[in-house]
Structure 1
Amino acid sequence: MDNTLIIGASGGIGAALAEACENRGEQVTRLSRSVDGFDITNAQSVAEHLGRLEGTFNRLIVATGALEIQGAEPEKTIKTIEPQAMLDQFALNAVGPALVLSHAHDLLPRDSRCVMAVLSARVGSIGDNRIGGWISYRSAKAAVNQIVHTAAIELARTHKDLACVSLHPGTVATPFTEKYLGRHPAVAPSEAAENLIRVMEGLTPAQTGKFFDWQGKEVPW
């Protein structure tokens, strides 16, 4: 039986991932701020909550994140940068996952196949950026991609069968995105969860440190 840890399990995608994994008969451990008081931006909170967990997990998913924090909407132009809004984006979308990854050595098995996935976003791709805007969110997601890539290199030294990756879930219809969907097609969280699980099930250690979309296609950095 797979043993899965989902961080951010009360959010739209996180909750759907937890339900989908449980429907497959997996043992799922959920952590979230709203239910457990897990503050991914606070090193002590991360250490305390992860330190209480027993055993290891062959699938660890970081499904936290936000497009708006404290009411600050994504910038349409770099002319409107607000330092605190940018710092808030980095704290939640980059530093938070980095804090979780700093405990990954103890949370993942060293002698069997395992997957560590951090939900990122295609707009974090530098190579795929064609229209500008959303500076803080883009930059924080680009940063978390670098964090995942670097952690994957380090973890590969001790966890030979690990695939540690960034995943783009596609455009998902959740409260997170409802103001920004516009004409963009979106899928339900349940469909996004099934897509992400399918990608994770197909990953191999040779793909560790890379960035994939919901179809399993590699996204440029």
Structure 2
Amino acid sequence: MIKQNISLIIVLTGINQGNALIVGASQGIGLGFVQYLLQQENIAKIYATYRQKETANELLALKIEFGDRLECLQVDVTIESDIAAAAAHIKESSKRLHLAIYCVGVLHEEDLTPEKSLRQIDPENLLYSFQVNSIGAVLLAKHLMPLFKKGEPSVFASVSAKVGSIGDNRLGGWYGYRASKAALNMFLKTTAIEYSRRCPQTIVLALHPGTTDTRLSQPFQKNVPPGKLFAVEHTVNLLSKVIQQANIKDSGKFFSWDGSELPW
């Protein structure tokens, strides 16, 4: 389990009993955030989503261990009605949120692989990449907005990727993943502008986690320099610190795991 003495919600909001939502919590960084938040005594309720029960065994085991404090919701982020239903359920049961983190992402899956050249581009794969990596996040922002109360500080964050930075793209390739993460960044920047009017104490962040030892990165780990492949626990601690240090002036910005701001 991920342990840290600092309470994320207390640092962020000053709320004694905060509510959190982790989307894409069945494995990897999302599961790591759930484990981390469960150790924070000042968080009253954690909502965690998964797509398929078959791949959510660890998450569902945590539900058995922690009872009503953790609620698991089955959500497919490519289906807006699933997202809307989850938001409606949270509104009915908890009324408000103080932290939401979108941890869903796809780089390879069945016939989907990162494109090395234009010859490999498949329109259906591109559409799927956008659905998962970017559209799901902005739909989440749409349906969660009423849960971020004007008078209470909160954070809406999404795990992005440095390869989604247009300014940092020097190697090419990975068309679908790069473009969908760039779209995610634009969605978050635009969301931050609207949130500044409708829920002005909500900070919107795009976060680059570094290369983390998850299923998403496994086929590409052999090329990672020594010391640059992070354990999930380490990544979650790093990103938690970035979130803790953010203020409202940082809303709509793109940060790396070390706290440095990344170019668009």
TM-score range, shorter chain: over 0.9
Distance, in Å, in 2 between the alignment partners of 1:82 and 1:8 is 25
Count matched residues: 221
Distance, in Å, in 1 between the alignment partners of 2:121 and 2:223 is 26
Secondary structure of 2:128 counterpart: helix
Give yes or no for the alignment of 1:216 onto 2:256: no
Distance, in Å, in 2 between the alignment partners of 1:198 and 1:150 is 24
Q: Flag the structure with higher helix content.
A: 2
- Work out which of the residue numbers 18, 28, 33 in structure 2 matches 1:2: 18
Shift of 1:131: 0.4
RMSD, aligned CA: 1.2
Q: Which amino acid in structure 1 is aligned with residue 139 of structure 2?
A: L
Distance, in Å, in 2 between the alignment partners of 1:154 and 1:18 is 28
Unmatched runs of 5 consecutive residues or more in structure 2: 1-16, 54-72
Distance, in Å, in 1 between the alignment partners of 2:241 and 2:146 is 25
Give yes or no for the alignment of 1:81 onto 2:121: yes
Give yes or no for the alignment of 1:206 onto 2:249: yes
| Larger RCO, structures 1/2 (Cα 8 Å, 6+ apart) | 1
- Work out which of the residue numbers 15, 28, 37 in structure 1 matches 2:46: 28
Distance, in Å, in 1 between the alignment partners of 2:110 and 2:144 is 29
Residue 129 (structure 1) aligns with: 169
Distance, in Å, in 1 between the alignment partners of 2:149 and 2:52 is 28
Shift of 1:145: 0.3
Distance, in Å, in 1 between the alignment partners of 2:74 and 2:152 is 31
Report Cα offsets for 1:30-73 as digits up to 9, x if no partner. 11212433011111111112111132111110011111133311
Alignment TM-score, normalising by the size of structure 1: 0.96
Give the fraction of aligned pairs with identical amino acids, expressed as a percent.
Answer: 33
Distance, in Å, in 2 between the alignment partners of 1:46 and 1:100 is 6
Distance, in Å, in 1 between the alignment partners of 2:215 and 2:34 is 18
Confirm or deny: 8 A CA contact 1:69 1:85 kept in the other structure.
no
Give yes or no for the alignment of 1:183 onto 2:183: no
Shift of 1:11: 2.1
Select between 186-195 and 50-59 the one with higher mean Cα deviation: 50-59
Residue 102 (structure 1) aligns with: 142
Report Cα offsets for 1:188-211 as digits up to 9, x if no partner. 111111111111111101110111
- Work out which of the residue numbers 145, 163, 173 in structure 1 matches 2:203: 163
Distance, in Å, in 1 between the alignment partners of 2:176 and 2:105 is 13
Give yes or no for the alignment of 1:50 onto 2:66: no
Report Cα offsets for 1:124-168 as digits up to 9, x if no partner. 000000000000110000000000000110011022222101101
Q: Which amino acid in structure 1 is aligned with residue 223 of structure 2?
A: R
Which structure has the greater CA radius of gyration? 2
Confirm or deny: 8 A CA contact 1:163 1:207 kept in the other structure.
yes
Select between 109-118 and 27-36 the one with higher mean Cα deviation: 27-36
Distance, in Å, in 1 between the alignment partners of 2:218 and 2:233 is 16
Shift of 1:29: 1.5
Confirm or deny: 8 A CA contact 1:69 1:88 kept in the other structure.
no
Residue 194 (structure 2) aligns with: 154
Alignment TM-score, normalising by the size of structure 2: 0.81
